[in-house]
Structure 1
């Protein structure tokens, strides 16, 4: 698979190397007047915009959106303090990372778009770069509004070091900007049929993410329920293209991500990492399977510190025939944490089990590195689109035959029981419960669970029920499995505005209870 090289240019590092991209600007940067002179330089600048997705703290599998910020009713950690157990404050660095990286990406996109007309080049190529930059800028605002609520909205490059005072814009207005920009980008980027790759934005990716954005705007706390119709429209765009389909094997889909094999029929948008090994001159490293893998010390199989274990609540959602269960939740441990022999857990040892989706033993790299690898992360896959379509259809039209058809497509691939006419529920509320459980079975450990529970406005009651269930189970994992649920409060529905940002931008206000 041809990987996209994220070049570390002076443009990408000098111009935006400040701690808080929204607030400061270094004096030693390459002025835009000396750059953006041709299509190649615009493309390199676009690489710099993409680059923020893979930072530690984002989607690279380390302490970020795939682990630290996604602890809910699917996984737990043995830590006693930190964001993953809801014991942190506005001064913690992990709170700052999402803010800093997203505003750095937004600033890079703003500068690129401000210089878009500078070089002579084909209008088709210019449109493509513009569409990707506008989409990514909107996506970064999507990450911000999900995590912090109201945030400053910047659409022009930072003018000077004094250009720092911007108020928070209400969340519904931020969402409106996101949707407007993504709808504009959809007209500019190519079809996935024309590029046959998932590492760059295509029309399918824009359609699918627009469905997601509209679902979140329809949910808590904005509650713009009219957006369910738009979520249905955009998810149907992906389905009606007639190209996308599920990989016949749930397991193989993730092996393809681990082995850098494109599967654009299901993997619509994925974040690419470079496999690093002897003799390779560059590396954009990820860490999927390191913190969130199967505990392993043998480098030949791939090291994993395995800081996370699975909740019994998730395990119990699957039936015994569901092929997703024993891939998502590893049914074994490696013998003595050292060597290829697998020792399978007893049926009673549910809390002992690690996350199994990102299995480092399948990496093809000859010389594996302890904490890093090249496993790609799926930002949007077709199974998610089908479940979003089913959810939106239910909200707009009720639990129709069409909603069940989309839901059953996902279940059929998993070789689990399909919903027949006799088993179909008749109320929207009952179908919502089916969707909530199916999203967990299908998408667990892919960064969406806690955010889903928030938009359904059930995060806290779900966690409190989880604590009660885990406590009754007893055993040595009773404490770790319940600590996050015991610590969570209403204030955790949003992250705190970082203290450093509050000190620099006096127009900012803090989120409630922080």
Structure 2
């Protein structure tokens, strides 16, 4: 009997232990890994949103990932003469994190998350529409990240499969050539263009998301970077014809730079980065990928760089006097200044006093709900930096939006960054038409559609006797005035080869003159009157930013790019059959 009790006790213990094992064999929902996540449609939808989250980091588009290309161009200079100085002068030694490492880090976060979605999506049962939406968005976002990486760092590792870096032996990848990266970009965007819905088909879902129109627009950009003008033109003409949804210019140019649902994701926007309206997000600033607070502010800090230090910003970046004077050379048909000046640079112009609904002040009225007036109308242009001076930049700030009176620095601004607008489609179509057929009325018509919005007089074909003359108008008049101080000018200078032609390089030097006199100097500066020029320090190869030295040290398979090697890219540019248009007065 005693032996029987012992046996029954042992059996009970074994049974209890077995039952306990069954109860504990449960996945902790708070400790999921990539191995047990992404196996359902709902989880993949969450993963796609996580991909979008990474384009709102400091190194993607929340600050330096956006502004670094602007300061690389000839429209913006480093008025603080500190934070961005090596990137404004195009001579970084490769040991400065903000440009050499942060953009690399954060764009590869986008690549990684996009690759995760693409690795999982084929194994999950869902409708064709859901499959196309999930896959198409991941392809677009991966292509966007690689477009940034290839145009900032030239030769970068190319990961197109999540298993490419599954272990330590494959994680340390070698550089791919820039052409190999662009090949992948074109493949990704072509597929995304074919499977994503249009903004019209997507309806409310499409607001803030990548659509086939966004993919088509960026495909045209990628093709033009490699001088594939005929292929790019075909895509651009399809966008204009409405093949990827309906796009049109907003009646008011300023609607592209205002905050709020009435203006953001508008008829002109092919793709924009979404930020929470001022004061509606949390309190924690999500600067880097390790900041994953549910209380993130979800704003950007472009304003903190662009706006006037007199009004609370860091005062790092200013608009070039060249750009200001370009606006002043041509008035609208009713005698007004080009209204794009108002939305691009914060200058005091007496004419603004007679503009209906426009204010001469920057940040004049505070919160309109409070009826509080914080600042009187300005009677002089505020300086970008209180020590060095400079003209502060209005775009993607609230300088003209009358939302608040002064700036709270950091990730607070809620103006969505419009990365591609329909006006870019029109001006690129004009450029392609000119490259293929020389100056034609078709190219002029595309340009005039953009000019008509701001009541500038029509261009006449008879005024442009050569392809070079019309290119000069597009490159150094129409595009700077339409897109002044936006992300993309530096990339334009790369694809046009302006760094590889002495005449063009000298032109960049002249455009980038600045004055360190503590004022918002708007003079047409010369070598004799300027304090300096951003491009006077340019060294061959540094039109790209160097790969961070610590990254090179950590990866034995990675080598430096042209900036690390101080290597002239001109010969390789011309070996591809590319040409540089000569300067035309």
TM-score scaled by length of structure 1: 0.83
Within-5 A mapping of 1:306-455: 306-318=315-327, 319-321=330-332, 322-332=338-348, 339-345=374-380, 352-361=390-399, 362=401, 364=403, 369-371=408-410, 372-423=412-463, 425-437=464-476, 438-455=478-495
The residue that corresponds to 1:247 in the other structure is: 250
Q: Secondary structure at the match of 1:76?
A: strand
Cα contact 1:269–1:379 (8 A) shared by 2: yes
The residue that corresponds to 1:4 in the other structure is: none
**Structure 2: where are the runs of 5+ without partners?**
1-29, 283-294, 333-337, 349-359, 365-372, 565-585
TM-score scaled by length of structure 2: 0.73
Separation in structure 2 between the aligned mates of residue 504 and residue 244 of structure 1, nearest angstrom: 46
Q: Deviation of residue 385 (structure 1)?
A: 0.6
The residue that corresponds to 1:489 in the other structure is: 539
The residue that corresponds to 1:228 in the other structure is: 229
Q: Deviation of residue 367 (structure 1)?
A: 11
Q: Secondary structure at the match of 2:222?
A: helix
The 1:149/1:400 distance shift into structure 2, 3 A limit, reads: same
The 1:366/1:493 distance shift into structure 2, 3 A limit, reads: closer
Q: Deviation of residue 306 (structure 1)?
A: 3.1
The 1:313/1:246 distance shift into structure 2, 3 A limit, reads: same
Separation in structure 1 between the aligned mates of residue 212 and residue 553 of structure 2, nearest angstrom: 40
The CA deviation string for residues 89-122 of structure 1, in whole angstroms up to 9 with x for no partner, is: 2121121111111212111111111111343322
Q: Deviation of residue 500 (structure 1)?
A: 2.2
The residue that corresponds to 1:45 in the other structure is: 47
Cα contact 2:318–2:393 (8 A) shared by 1: yes
Separation in structure 1 between the aligned mates of residue 130 and residue 181 of structure 2, nearest angstrom: 28
The one of 175, 193, 197 equivalent to 1:186 is: 193
Cα contact 1:77–1:480 (8 A) shared by 2: no
Q: Secondary structure at the match of 1:492?
A: coil
Cα contact 1:259–1:363 (8 A) shared by 2: no
Separation in structure 1 between the aligned mates of residue 536 and residue 512 of structure 2, nearest angstrom: 11
The residue that corresponds to 1:275 in the other structure is: 277
- State whether structure 2 residue 290 is matched by structure 1 residue 285: no
Paired residues, number: 471
Cα contact 1:135–1:181 (8 A) shared by 2: yes
Q: Deviation of residue 169 (structure 1)?
A: 1.7
The residue that corresponds to 1:507 in the other structure is: 557
Q: Deviation of residue 208 (structure 1)?
A: 1.0
RMSD: 3.2
Q: Deviation of residue 353 (structure 1)?
A: 2.1
Separation in structure 2 between the aligned mates of residue 149 and residue 513 of structure 1, nearest angstrom: 9
The answer to which of 479-488 and 85-94 deviates more is 479-488
Q: Secondary structure at the match of 1:57?
A: helix
Cα contact 2:307–2:392 (8 A) shared by 1: yes
The residue that corresponds to 1:211 in the other structure is: 220
Q: Deviation of residue 189 (structure 1)?
A: 0.6
The residue that corresponds to 1:22 in the other structure is: none
Q: Deviation of residue 421 (structure 1)?
A: 4.2
The CA deviation string for residues 463-485 of structure 1, in whole angstroms up to 9 with x for no partner, is: 64454577698956689862522
- CA radius of gyration, larger in: 2
Cα contact 2:314–2:409 (8 A) shared by 1: no
Cα contact 1:135–1:206 (8 A) shared by 2: yes
Q: Secondary structure at the match of 2:326?
A: coil
Separation in structure 1 between the aligned mates of residue 256 and residue 116 of structure 2, nearest angstrom: 37
Q: Deviation of residue 198 (structure 1)?
A: 4.2
The residue that corresponds to 1:224 in the other structure is: none
The residue that corresponds to 1:172 in the other structure is: 179
